[in-house]
Amino acid sequence: MSDNPKMVQAQKEGKTPFHTIPLTSLYALARVMATGAFKYGRFNFLIDAIRASTYIGAIMRHTFEWATGGDRDKESGEHPLAHVMACCAVVIAAEDRGMLIDDRLECESKDPDTGEVRVENLITDELDAKIEDVMAPFRRYAELSRRIVAAHLSMPTGAEPLTGDEWEELEGLYLMLPPGLLSRHADNQRSADDVGNGD
């Protein structure tokens, strides 16, 4: 039996697969979110900025509560991991809205004589630059690969064919990639092609 065309098209378009979420978990999440809404106001975290450290602490407490044998939160009566889900949902929503204060790597140094507190966040421009240096070869490899595909398929992208130097650059970048990364990408691409072909 072939797949329904609408389902195949939805998979090709990358539509959010809400049908893969266990409903039992959603019910628990909704009840915990309702408890928070009653205490602090519905979606308060979208208008009042929250600190990442607050939710790191909450996530860890509820996780440890469950890991050490707790099956019900003492205050809400809900599953501790439902509280973890709620914390994660709040952080993701607040971050998307620009209401998350990222103090994950915030450090304080207090002068014992003056009481003056110096605060530094280790997520600095220097660290961002180091991350960019690590990611740059991957982005360049992806760029060159897209140009090869575009040329092979005669796609109207305006991309120029690779020069000899760029082919050598691509080979060098290939050797830098982690083992197995390209094979996993190829497997994923073949799976996507199979879905698109209705196999």
pLDDT higher than threshold 50 for residue 185:
no
Q: In which band, very low, low, confident or very high, does the pLDDT at 30 lie, cut at 50, 70 and 90?
A: very high
pLDDT higher than threshold 60 for residue 154:
yes
* Residue 148 burial (10 A CB sphere; 0-12, 13-18, 19+): middle
**Cβ atoms 87, 97 nearer than 8 A:** no
More confident residue, 128 or 40: 40
For residue 192, the model assigns a pLDDT of 45
pLDDT higher than threshold 70 for residue 189:
no
Residue ranges per structural domain of the chain: 20-121, 125-196
Structure tokens at 117: 């507190």
- The rounded radius of gyration (Å) of the Cα atoms in the chain is 24
